[in-house]
Amino acid sequence: MFEKVLVANRGEIAVRVMRSLRRLGVQSVAVHSDVDASSMHVRQADEAVEIGSAPVADSYLRIDRIIEAAISTGAQAIHPGYGLLAENAGFARACAAAGLVFVGPSPESMDMMASKIRARQTMAASGIPVVPGTTSPVVAGADAHAAAAEIGFPVAVKAASGGGGKGFRVAFSPDDLDEAVEGAAGEGARFFSDDTVYLERYLEDPRHVEIQVVADNYGNVVHLYERDCSIQRRHQKLIEEAPCPALSDDTRARLGEIAIAAARAAQYTSVGTIEGLLVGEEFFFLEMNTRIQVEHPVTEMVTGVDLVELQLRIAAGERLGFAQSDIQVRGHAIECRVNAESAAKGFRPAPGTVAFFVSPKGDGIRVDAGVEDGDVVQPYYDPMIAKVIVWGDSRADATEKMRTALERMEINGITTLLPFHRALLASDEWREGSTCRELLENRGWLKSTDEWATSGARALSGKGQA
């Protein structure tokens, strides 16, 4: 195992990685921008190095400064967390060139999965079901119209390097298509420096299901079953749970087999996630995330496996210490992302200073936070400040535990999604295990979540609301 690891990230994931490092007896190095000098992840680290000014382009995306910080502090490896440089193959190669271990997959695997087009080609060639659509780029005009006519409307137009809802447009008819292609290409260029787009059949209200995979450097690959991430706004996740409440045992087994085959097709090592869309009993590969996921704690809660520790052990050259038959799912886990946002105002970001932060406590309750009393939620970065994760014997038990945890959680000084989560977990739609899409698209219901800002005592359902 390593003696010292630099964490090339910030916020709650940096704190989370440091927790596993501390348990393993490994020293941690934080990097930070000038405005993050007193942030929680810096306070938690054994050492810290400033790497630039507030904008991520001047700090957390500066590969040269991050590697220099690792070398100057004697770190042997770099853990990228999620987001930022986590899926940047160039960063992984720069680490190797500097004699540092990148805690993640090989750059070749990252390259293969970075382009959604190449990923679709790889999976389709391996017999893994993909959403019907193109496996080559399209451009606005006759090319796109011919492809869309073959797929059938509505079609989704996606940036090949997109993610997080960026570079995604839907064309409901031929009249919408050119604008959708140009819009997706423009966002792809702006956010990912890649204007390549492709087309897929647009699935109206699928479940978003993903399977956790783990692979070592010796050919051992296992899956840790699935998570349901269907509750999203603008294609960004808000609540996740494990296991998926809509899977039969046969489908669950089939998804595990698909995930292992996909990991092998990508020649994957480390911890990764196979994401897909579930329509009835049909599963379609969507993409592979070549990093730890935000929602990894729900898998940890139902399997008892520390996924960050696994990442570190695999990167250090260790073999998996277990087989597929050793992995069992016990109970049910739910995660709520607590963002500094106002759901009542269309999920508008709400940066500011946290005056008071109280985490709920109790058996089966876990809070992964990136802030404490007095910390500043900066406008430059992702607004997620904490995650509440609970475990229960059943989905109903976990739901009641989550509702209790959310009522006990207090965050003063800034607006957060706590009222939204309290309202949604009390809704009929959640209890019925739906994707809750009708609530998330209902502006009246979203505005009504303000009623939960001070109390969640009244059960609020979206049914029948305008």
Report the SS3 class of residue 456: coil
**∠ Cα 292 301 309 (to 5°):** 45
Q: Is 190 a catalytic residue?
A: no
Residue with tokens 């630099």: 6
> Torsion angle of alpha carbons 243, 244, 248, 251, nearest 10°?
-100
Structure tokens at 404: 């209790």
Structure tokens at 271: 């911890």
Rounded Cα distance, 192 and 406, in Å: 36
Among candidate residues 237, 238, 214, the one with its CA nearest the CA of residue 313: 214
Residue with tokens 């405005």: 35
Structure tokens at 166: 């960026």
Report the SS3 class of residue 134: coil
**∠ Cα 404 408 411 (to 5°):** 135
For residues 196 and 151, is the Cβ–Cβ distance under 8 A?
A: no
Strands (E), 204-320: 207-215, 221-233, 236-242, 270-279, 282-289
End-to-end CA distance of the chain: 57
Among the listed residues 16, 227, 291, 395, the single catalytic one is: 291
Rounded Cα distance, 395 and 95, in Å: 42
Report the SS3 class of residue 179: helix
* Alpha carbon separation from 110 to 60, 105, 107, 117 (Å, rounded): 19, 7, 5, 13
Report the SS3 class of residue 300: helix
Q: Residues of 162-183 as b/e, b for ≥16 C-beta within 10 angstroms?
A: bbeebbbbebeeeebbbebbbb
For residues 301 and 391, is the Cβ–Cβ distance under 8 A?
A: yes
Rounded Cα distance, 231 and 313, in Å: 32
Which residue intervals of 217-268 are DSSP H helices? Answer: 249-265
Residue with tokens 């440091």: 18
Supply the residues annotated as catalytic: 291
